[in-house]
A = this chain, B = another copy of it.
Amino acid sequence: MTAGRYTYLGPEGTFTEAALRTLPEAATRELVPMVSVPAAMDAVRNGEAGGALVPIENSVEGGVTATVDELASGEPLLIYREVLLPIAFALLVRPGTELEAIKTVTGHPVAQPQVRRWLERNLPEAQWESAASNADGARLVQEGRYDAAFAGEFAAATYGLEPLVTDIHDAQHAVTRFVLVGRPSRPASPTGADKTSVALWLRSDRPGALLEILQEFAACGVNLMRIESRPTGEGIGRYCFQIDCEGHLADRRVGEALMGLHRLCSEVRFLGSYPRADGVRPALEPGTTDGDFVAAAQWVHRSLDGQPDGARPPR
């Protein structure tokens, strides 16, 4: 039963697995670690899995750009859910290892900036070497190649290690955002606290193109939550943008803004409308409710029908 299987960016013991396990339905699914973000998403495309959980923002595992690029350029998948996971590292060691005995540490390269200040203060002499993932670093400690690895505390059990120090993070509020993607289907109904994601390619690289896109959102009263540029692979200076905005495609203001994008862009790809993990409802500006859009459309139709507002029949 492929719908009963969820893939995720592995190996076991990564933050991605921890994020996936926060979803209630994960308890009844087979959870399969994959070697890379593309592999996790391809399993869904090929029908071998019903969904894939992958990091998309502020990752400590390095999966972000792969996710963004796969969503934009790979065979279409939609986002159905997002998960926010606070990020804190544990220093994992073989049982019995003491802090002063640590000469070498490892972890994913993008974890390094997050633990750098901690290292300077607590292990200034220890030598850092990069691993392919945080979990892989834990495995290499298990194998005795390094003395300690930075990883999620939850990874300790998987690799027979113990967390010597926990809750290590340089930035306050370090959070990684993950998305659950699936094959294209009808988006979930609006909840009132939704988010919509799109990928878009500007018609040309004239200076005003991105500006026009942002004006389209502003004109419809739709707040942007994330904007990320990615090279298109067609040479330096050609970008694809990925944008998250407040609201659901079924909200008139979002639908209207996205129609504008469709006209302005050389290509635009809908990536999903889904509930916000933080549950925050947007504060709507005057003139941007569904009722305002409907009233505006009705006014145009009445005017076309020869019945503008305020007119009265001749005496």
Contacts and interface: CB of A to CB of B under 8 A. Distances in A.
B35 A306 contact: no
A260 B296 contact: yes
A308 to B, nearest CB: 5
A164 B292 CA distance: 50
Interface in A259-315: 259-260, 262-264, 268-270, 286-288, 292-293, 295-297, 299-300, 303-312, 314-315
Contacts of A233: 58, 170-174
Contacts of A259: 293, 296-297, 299-300
Contact of A229 (B227, B250, B307): B227
Contacts of A304: 186-187, 249-250, 255
Nearest to A313: B183
Interface string A57-82: 11000100110010000011010000
B214 A210 contact: yes
Contact of A38 (B116, B177, B217, B307): B116
Interface string A147-175: 00000000000000000000000111111
List the number of copies, as a whole number.
4
A259 B83 CA distance: 37
A254 to B, nearest CB: 9
Interface residues of A, number: 103
A311 B75 contact: yes
Given A132-B130, A214-B211, A236 B113 contact: no
A296 B262 contact: yes
A176 to B, nearest CB: 8
Given A187-B303, A262-B295, A263-B293, 4 more contacts: A203-B286, A212-B219, A258-B299, A264-B287
Interface of A: 35-36, 38, 45-47, 57-58, 62, 65-66, 69, 75-76, 78, 84, 109-110, 112-113, 116, 128-133, 136, 170-175, 177, 183-187, 203, 206-208, 210-212, 214-219, 221-229, 231, 233-237, 239, 249-250, 255, 258-260, 262-264, 268-270, 286-288, 292-293, 295-297, 299-300, 303-312, 314-315
